[in-house]
Chains A and B, each alone.
Chain A
């Protein structure tokens, strides 16, 4: 039996996280935690390590130092007798199935139809029946506004439609944690709003914990409980969106916000 989950306990916890690519340290001494149902947006200039944080949670990057806990369990390494010991592949997979990710470039499988993209993992990873997974996929497609695209191939859809399918695919796994990595950065400006509205609706109607990297500041302001400003691999400032966007205390945050808001 899995240990019961304490609703008050952090769902994601970073402890002394360090990430190096070769000799280049991208994240250093990073400590923060995200509570269940909390939506946290990471902002900051490119290269500040925001996307790396999401990729570490999804185990797409190797953690070079420190620990990440999901539901209190170690995601990549545990400490034993003062040493870092890698967790088994099975333990990691068990945690990973609770995490979903939507990518900047959608990453739909072009050789499968929209429906096949959505039902593949629920059937073969979660063990759902085909009928169950298909019914859920159709309702998710309805939810993202693409009820008639189930049998199309991703390449015949526009970028905005593909991203909506990618959101449906991630939600089909019923994730506890949803990682959104610059999900509108590759889209034409006129469809950004559609995709963000769907995510706003997901935020309003579910209790999924979200870790968001975005340059859409009004979206960040609307959906986040907390905003964290990164620079040079460190948290410069964090707080409620009202505080960060209206009254940032750090000079670096002010400078960053004035630059991105001027562009908007």
Chain B
């Protein structure tokens, strides 16, 4: 995990002239901000999305197949996680499980928190599979496992991809909350650089632009994926 190190070398060269934007300084701090982005922000988003996508699907299927009292408990637990702020969840695990690596806490909290959102998306996707598809699987005596794996999930996923992608982007933009458990994600690194030199403009702007540069192509990618997943013609 990255740690915040005092920035000894970077000195705002434009301080004397009072420029609002100092290119030299910006270029100097850029690598460090980008490193924090890759090592923390991107990592948490990718791992968190993977966890959320899998657990979200499991939650949606459990709610559908479990006997109603158990399904009720799963739904209640999912609602509880969804209805409490992510910052509180980060802090609870941080202070409750002090032996845990804060980055690991980040994976778990972002993964599970977003799983509860994604489970709702999956649920809508599963509900959108026409009744006739279920009936066809029954008429062919397909097992429940095959029915889910070969018919229901592939068709449900098709309609859920855009929403899942949007939640991934939303998670990405929530990663600055990691600062509350002292993980050096990109924005806190940028803020630190700003604090050391009293030049916040460059640091925060760079962080913002990196967010934009990552989110926008991702959104385009999701769009393309959505089209590719559409059936023939």
Interface of A toward B, CB cutoff 8 Å: 58-60, 93, 96-97, 99-101, 103, 105, 107-112, 120-121, 124-125, 152-153, 155-156, 169-170, 173
- Interface centre among B132, B139, B141, B231, by most A CB within 10 Å? B139
B133 at the interface (CB under 8 A from A): yes
- Which chain B positions have C-beta within 8 A of A105? 132
- Which chain A positions have C-beta within 8 A of B132? 103, 105, 107
Contact of A103 with B231 at beta-carbon distance under 8 Å, contacts A109-B150, A121-B140 already known: no
Give Cα A103–Cα B130 distance, bound, in whole angstroms: 13
Contact of A125 among B133, B140, B155, B158 (CB under 8 A): B140
Give Cα A109–Cα B155 distance, bound, in whole angstroms: 9
Give Cα A74–Cα B93 distance, bound, in whole angstroms: 56
Give Cα A103–Cα B140 distance, bound, in whole angstroms: 12
- Which chain B positions have C-beta within 8 A of A152? 232
Contact status B146-A111, CB under 8 Å: no
Contact status B142-A170, CB under 8 Å: no
Contact status A110-B155, CB under 8 Å: yes
Contacting residues of chain B (130-172) with chain A, CB-CB under 8 angstroms: 130, 132-133, 135-136, 138-143, 146, 150-151, 154-155, 158
Give Cα A220–Cα B174 distance, bound, in whole angstroms: 64
Measured CB to CB, the closest approach of chain A to B151, in angstroms, equals: 5
Measured CB to CB, the closest approach of chain B to A208, in angstroms, equals: 15
Contact of B231 among A120, A125, A155, A170 (CB under 8 A): A155
Give Cα A60–Cα B140 distance, bound, in whole angstroms: 12
Contact status B141-A93, CB under 8 Å: yes
Q: How many A-B residue contacts, CB cutoff 8 Å? A: 65
Contact of A121 with B133 at beta-carbon distance under 8 Å, contacts A111-B151, A111-B154, A111-B231 already known: no
B19 at the interface (CB under 8 A from A): no
Contact of A124 with B138 at beta-carbon distance under 8 Å, contacts A110-B155, A111-B151 already known: no
Q: What 15 new A-B contacts, CB under 8 Å, besides A99-B139, A121-B142, A124-B146?
A: A58-B135, A93-B141, A97-B141, A107-B133, A107-B135, A108-B136, A109-B136, A109-B150, A109-B151, A111-B155, A112-B150, A120-B142, A153-B231, A170-B139, A173-B141
Measured CB to CB, the closest approach of chain B to A159, in angstroms, equals: 14
Contact status A156-B135, CB under 8 Å: no
Measured CB to CB, the closest approach of chain B to A135, in angstroms, equals: 19
- Which chain B positions have C-beta within 8 A of A108? 136
Contact of B139 among A101, A111, A124 (CB under 8 A): A101
Contact status A111-B140, CB under 8 Å: no
B3 at the interface (CB under 8 A from A): no
Give Cα A168–Cα B146 distance, bound, in whole angstroms: 20
- Which chain B positions have C-beta within 8 A of A155? 231-233
Contact of A153 with B232 at beta-carbon distance under 8 Å, contacts A107-B132, A111-B155 already known: yes
Contact status A109-B133, CB under 8 Å: yes
Contacting residues of chain B (95-148) with chain A, CB-CB under 8 angstroms: 130, 132-133, 135-136, 138-143, 146
Give Cα A32–Cα B133 distance, bound, in whole angstroms: 30
In the complex, what residue of chain A is closest to B155 when comparing beta carbons? Answer: A111
Give Cα A109–Cα B129 distance, bound, in whole angstroms: 10
Give Cα A97–Cα B140 distance, bound, in whole angstroms: 7
Contact of A59 with B233 at beta-carbon distance under 8 Å, contacts A120-B150, A124-B143 already known: no
- Which chain B positions have C-beta within 8 A of A120? 140, 142, 146, 150
Contact of A60 among B135, B142, B146 (CB under 8 A): B135
Contact status A110-B142, CB under 8 Å: no
- Which chain B positions have C-beta within 8 A of A173? 140-141
- Which chain B positions have C-beta within 8 A of A125? 140-143
Give Cα A101–Cα B135 distance, bound, in whole angstroms: 10
In the complex, what residue of chain A is closest to B157 when comparing beta carbons? Answer: A111
- Per-residue A-contact encoding for B170-197, CB less than 8 Å = 1, 0 else: 0000000000000000000000000000
- Interface centre among A109, A112, A125, A169, by most B CB within 10 Å? A109
Give Cα A112–Cα B151 distance, bound, in whole angstroms: 8
6 A-B pairs with C-beta separation under 8 A: A107-B135, A109-B150, A121-B142, A124-B142, A152-B232, A156-B233
Contact status A96-B150, CB under 8 Å: no
In the complex, what residue of chain B is closest to A169 when comparing beta carbons? Answer: B140
Give Cα A142–Cα B138 distance, bound, in whole angstroms: 26
In the complex, what residue of chain B is closest to A104 when comparing beta carbons? Answer: B132
- Which chain B positions have C-beta within 8 A of A58? 135, 138-139
- Interface centre among A59, A93, A107, A152, by most B CB within 10 Å? A107
